[in-house]
Structure formats: structure tokens, C-alpha cells
Amino acid sequence: MTIDQPRRWERFFWPVLVCALLLALWHYCVIWTATRIFPSPLDVERGLAELLRQNVLWADIGDSLRRVAIGFGAAVLLGVPLGLMFGWYPAANQVVNPAMQIIRPISPIAWIPVAIIFFGVGDNAAIFLIFLGAFFPIVVSCTDGVSNVPSISRRAGRNFGLSPFHVLAKVVFPAALPQIIVGLRIALGIAWLVVVAAEMIAVDSGLGYLIIDSRNSGKRYDLVVAAMLLIGVIGLALDLAFRRLEKVKSVRWGFRDES
């Protein structure tokens, strides 16, 4: 008795079936409970069309993406070198790590009052929060990436006469790159979560703000759900784009074992 291989067409059939069933379930729940506030799938679709027609939506999406870009970029610029250094000098990591472990569990959102003191209300505070959210995962994955490079590779580098800096740059860094890129992808996902949350509290533009505003000014839950879906889709697109990066040939060697 063996489980037979699914056919090609099944890759589309099952997800479509499940999605259709869930949408139908949603639709009938709305009808059955006769709610006047919660939107049905059709309401959401209409709300989405309405948003797309207004220019404001594109500005909101642009704002969210911009904040993520700057905050994430800053986290990469600071976090990658720091993480590499911690991986290269385990002693340094050992000294700083406990401090990081205490700061790390503090949700970026909890930093809002402090962020507002330093950056005032607005974009910069949000960007700071995104930076915080992305920073620690990046540092950790870079540190782990470097530590996991087998010492054989380092020795081979030295054997061929490379200076320590060149060993780091030409042997260790490429060897650690797959793991670093996975860490970056995860951090980007976190950044996307944080920007939405930050926009719900601390700024007045962006997709997160759209959600809060749609509810507050008119209980437009159809727009709320439409915005949520947009957030999901854009976040997924960012993730897929990053995975594309992982497939670039010179990085791929690390993933060869994944089928």
C-alpha cells in the first residue's frame, strides 16, 4: 500500500477548491447571521475596487513600502557587519548576547513612547520601529551563518595563504550567504508586520493607518478586510521576490539539498 503521487492538475485543483469552499462558507455565514456590519466576500471585492480607484491607496502602499525599505535597509547596513563580526569573534558575541536577549523580547510597539521622544510623531518613529524589528533577526542569522561555516573551509582559506580579512570576505562570507539571505527574508517579513502595526498607532498614512481609519471614520469593515488582504498579498509578493533572489545561481549551492 503506497500513497500515490498527486497529479499535476491537482496542484491547482485542491487549493482552488478549498478557497472556493471557504469563501462560500464566509458568504453564507454573513447571510445567516444577518450581520449588518461584517462584510461578505462580495462587499470586500467592491471595497477593494473602490480603493483601487482612489489614488489614496497607492500613496498608502507607497508609504508603507518606503518605510519598510528605509528601516529594513538600515537594519541590514548595521546588522550584517555586526552579525558577521559576532560570528567571527565568538567572544564578542558571548559578551553582547545576554544584553541582546533582554532587549529582544520587547515588542517594537512597546518602543513607541521612547521612539516618539527621540523622533517625534511621524515617519521617523515608524522607521525606527521597523529597524528594531528587523535588526535582531539579521544579527542572529549572520552570526549563526558565520559560526556554521565548517572550520575546514576556514583552514582551506588559510592554507592558500589568504589573510584573515580575505578569509572572511572570500571564504566565510560566501559560505554563510545562504543562511544570511534566509535570515534577511525572515527579517523582511517581520519588518512588514511591524510597519503595519506601527502605522496603526503612530502615523497617519500607510496600509495600517488605512485599516484603523476605515473603521474609525464610518465602520467601513469592507475596506478593513480589503486592506488586510492587500497587506497579505503584498507581504507575500515581497517574500516571493526574496526567494527569487535565493535562486540566483551563486547563492543556490546552499539550497541544493532542498527539493
Partner 1 sequence: MVFSRLYFCLRGLLGPDSVKTAKTLQSRAFSLLVWVRPIAFIGVLLAIWQIAVSRHPVHLLPGPLEVVGGIADLARRGLLLKYVIASLFRVTWGFALAVVLAIPLGLTIGWFRRAEMAFNPIVQILRPISPLAWIPIAILWFGVGDLAAIFLIFMGCFLPLLLTAINAVQSVPAVYINAGRNFGLGPLDLVYRVLYPAVIPQLIVGLRITLGIAWLVVVAAEMIAVSSGLGFLIVDARNAGNRYDLVVAGMVLIGLIGLLLDMGIRSLERVKSFRWSYSED
Partner 2 sequence: MSVMETFVTPVALKTKLCAEHVSMVFHRDGKTTEVLNDINLEVGDGEFLCLLGPSGCGKSTLLSAMAGFLTLTGGHIRIDGEVVRGPDPRRIFVFQERGVFPWLTVDGNIGFGLFKLPRRERERRIAHYVKMVGLQGFEKTYPPELSGGMKQRLEVARALAVNPDMLFLDEPFGALDSITRLIMRGELLRIWEAERKTIIFVTHDIDEAVQLADRVVVMSARPASVQQIVTIDIPHPRDISSPRYLELRDGIFKQIGLAHRI
Burial group, residue 228, by CB count within 10 angstroms (0-12, 13-18, 19+): middle
Residue 14 touches partner 1, criterion: CB under 8 A = yes
Stretch that binds partner 2, among 2-10, 141-149, 172-180, 229-237 (CB under 8 A): 2-10
- The grid cell for 45 is 471585492
Query: What binding mask, one character per residue, do residues 157-196 give for partner 1 by CB under 8 A, x or -?
Result: --------------------------------x--xxx-x
Least separation in angstroms between residue 2's CB and partner 2 is 5
- Residue 4 or 113: the one with the smaller Cβ distance to partner 2 is 4
Q: Cell triple for residue 71? A: 528601516
Which of 69, 70, 74, 96 touches partner 1 (CB under 8 A)? 96
Contact call for residue 2 and partner 2 (CB under 8 A): yes
Binding-site size, partner 2 (CB under 8 A): 4
Indicate whether 200 belongs to the interface with partner 1 (CB under 8 A). yes
Q: Which helix (H) or strand (E) holds 191?
A: helix 173-201
Q: Which residues lie closer than 8 Å to 119 by C-beta, 6 or more apart?
A: 125, 128
Contact residue for partner 1 among 47, 64, 238, 254 (CB under 8 A): 238
25 lines the binding site for partner 1 (CB under 8 A): no
Dist. CA 154–CA 171, nearest whole Å = 7
Q: What HEC string does 111-141 produce?
A: HHHHHHHHHCCCHHHHHHHHHHHHHHHHHHH
